[in-house]
């Protein structure tokens, strides 16, 4: 059956269509345009949101959990709970993000997530695009809360072992470029189709640029777990903010990065190369308390997640991040939506099917108020019930 959705406007997000109709058939977008040009199909199920805005479903490339569960849990019900929570916040696809853990636990989680990525649920659920490997190839100096005893020296051999355990589901890897073996590992990642992201790093400007030359094309939670910017030794931040070949992501929760620095980040990277992430943990959408992040327990009070005084992920949701940057940097809803749709899709090489509202794309749609609040979400042609 065809579905026809009407609203006040539609963000592709490259352009704005006023008074649109969006036609969905067999889980994909069949057509869209102004109602004056696209008639409502006969016998289509019609959903009308007269004061709302249609936008592509959001893509979170860095999320550890939510709704009381962590993605590294190997119980299938955990991912289902996390995904139901994400859908309420407009997220229709994501990368399950691991945290440094003992090798047996890491391999077991990668195997479980790899299998989950191949499943096709019948209900409306976000698509698990693959895995973001955050750790163990990170700096001891900038490890954050990642357990030091489980950090490993990067090597192509270890990366292949992780990739094989996941059945090829690793799509992104955070790595510190200054570590011995990192440049060879970045090159191997490129051969495997894995996006290398610079992060959890104390790299100098020269070391960061060496990682970029080796194949890194992204940066993980800019400013956090990175060498501080200095006017004589710009370090990794200098490279991330100034190199137009890099995209970069940021946690816009007002806790990890001050609002004024969010504006600076967006000015430096531009709306074409900036991406918003949540870095959300199991405590997201839950009351204050103690929650798991990988193998360890984090204390959550308000918007802060801490372990021994260090920030340990967030309870941010991606719709809140969109609204925050609208306020922090006076971005339009259209530009803010781009940071969680088209930009991450282009980074992952999936912009032909996700991250845009266009004929042939998967029908991932979020219905928003003009201020960016989520009204409802459609995943692959199915509305959240």
**pLDDT 10s digits, 156-187:** 999 999 999 999 999 999 999 999 999 999 99
Please indicate whether residue 279 is annotated as part of the active site: yes
pLDDT for 4 beyond 80: yes
Task: Identify whether residues 136 and 51 lie together within a single domain.
Answer: no
* pLDDT value of position 12: 98
Task: Identify whether residues 224 and 294 lie together within a single domain.
Answer: yes
- Is 199:220 a contact under the CB 8 Å cutoff? yes
- Give backbone dihedrals phi and psi of 161, rounded to 5 degrees, phi first: -65, -45
Tokens encoding 30:
């069949």
Residue-wise burial string across 294-304, b where 16 or more C-beta atoms lie within 10 A, e elsewhere: bbeebebeeeb
Task: Identify whether residues 210 and 286 lie together within a single domain.
Answer: yes
What SS3 class is residue 208?
helix
pLDDT for 385 beyond 80: no
* pLDDT value of position 380: 95
| Burial of 270 (C-beta count, 10 Å sphere; 0-12/13-18/19+) | exposed
pLDDT for 295 beyond 90: no
pLDDT confidence of 314, banded at 50, 70, 90? very high
Task: Identify whether residues 12 and 135 lie together within a single domain.
Answer: no
* pLDDT (tens digit per residue) in 100-157: 999 999 999 999 999 999 988 777 889 999 999 999 999 999 999 999 999 999 999 9
* pLDDT value of position 205: 98
Q: What is the CATH number of the domain that holds 376?
A: 2.30.40.10
**Which strand (E) or helix (H) includes residue 378?**
strand 374-379
Task: Identify whether residues 246 and 373 lie together within a single domain.
Answer: no
Q: How far apart are alpha carbons 268 and 265 in whole angstroms?
A: 5
* pLDDT value of position 384: 82
Task: Identify whether residues 208 and 341 lie together within a single domain.
Answer: yes
- Is 140:175 a contact under the CB 8 Å cutoff? no
What sections of the chain are H helices per DSSP?
A: 76-88, 103-117, 156-165, 182-192, 205-214, 235-242, 259-273, 318-328, 333-338, 342-348
* pLDDT (tens digit per residue) in 187-245: 999 999 999 999 999 999 999 999 999 999 999 999 999 999 999 999 999 999 999 99
Please state the rounded mean pLDDT for residues 286-303.
Answer: 94
Nearest to 228 by CA among 263, 264, 196, 203: 203
* pLDDT value of position 127: 96
Q: Is the pTM of this model over 0.95?
A: yes
Task: Identify whether residues 16 and 140 lie together within a single domain.
Answer: no
> Is 357 contained in some domain?
no
Domain that holds residue 38: 3-55+362-383
Annotated active-site residue in 279, 285, 335, 364: 279
* pLDDT value of position 349: 98
Nearest to 275 by CA among 94, 135, 117: 94
Q: What is the mean pLDDT of the chain?
A: 96
Domain total in the chain: 2
CB atoms within 10 A of CB 108: 15
Task: Identify whether residues 180 and 48 lie together within a single domain.
Answer: no
* pLDDT value of position 339: 98
Task: Identify whether residues 213 and 145 lie together within a single domain.
Answer: yes
In sequence order, what are the residues at sequence separation of 6 or more whose Cβ sits closer than 8 angstroms to the Cβ of residue 250?
Answer: 221, 222, 223, 256, 257, 262, 265, 274, 275, 276, 277
């Amino acid at each position: 059956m065809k579905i026809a959705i009407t609203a006040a406007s539609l963000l592709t997000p490259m352009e704005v269509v006023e008074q649109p109709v969006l036609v969905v058939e067999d889980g994909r977008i069949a057509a869209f345009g102004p109602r004056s040009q696209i008639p409502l199909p006969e016998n289509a199920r019609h959903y009308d949101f007269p004061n709302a805005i249609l936008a592509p479903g959001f893509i979170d490339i860095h999320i550890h959990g939510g709704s009381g569960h962590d993605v590294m849990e190997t119980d299938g019900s955990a991912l289902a709970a996390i995904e139901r929570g994400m859908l309420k916040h407009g997220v229709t696809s994501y990368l399950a993000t691991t945290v440094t853990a003992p090798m047996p636990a890491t391999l077991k989680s990668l195997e479980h997530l790899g299998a989950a990525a191949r499943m096709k649920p019948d209900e409306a659920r976000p698509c698990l695009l693959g895995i973001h490997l955050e750790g163990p190839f990170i700096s001891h100096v900038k490890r954050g809360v990642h357990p030091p005893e489980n950090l490993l020296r990067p090597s192509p051999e270890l990366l292949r072992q992780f990739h094989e355990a996941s059945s090829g589901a690793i799509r992104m890897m955070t790595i510190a470029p200054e570590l011995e073996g990192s440049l060879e590992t970045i090159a191997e990642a490129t051969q495997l189709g894995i996006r290398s992201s610079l992060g959890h790093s104390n790299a100098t400007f020269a070391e960061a640029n060496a990682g970029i030359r080796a194949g890194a094309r992204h940066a993980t939670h800019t400013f956090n777990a990175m060498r501080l910017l200095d006017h004589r030794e710009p370090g990794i931040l200098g490279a991330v903010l100034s190199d137009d070949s890099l995209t970069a992501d940021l946690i816009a929760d007002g806790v990890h990065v001050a609002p004024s620095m969010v504006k600076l980040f967006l000015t430096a990277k531009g709306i074409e190369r900036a991406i918003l992430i949540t870095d959300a943990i199991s405590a997201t959408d839950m009351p204050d308390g103690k929650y798991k992040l990988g193998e360890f327990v984090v204390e959550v009070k308000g918007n802060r997640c801490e372990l021994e005084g260090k920030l340990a992920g967030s309870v941010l949701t991606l719709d809140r991040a969109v609204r925050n940057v609208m306020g922090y940097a006076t971005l339009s809803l259209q530009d803010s939506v781009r940071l969680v749709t088209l930009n991450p899709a282009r980074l992952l090489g999936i912009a032909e099917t996700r991250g845009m509202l266009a004929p042939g794309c998967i029908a991932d749609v979020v219905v928003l108020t003009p201020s960016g609040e989520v009204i409802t979400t459609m995943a692959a042609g199915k509305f959240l019930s």
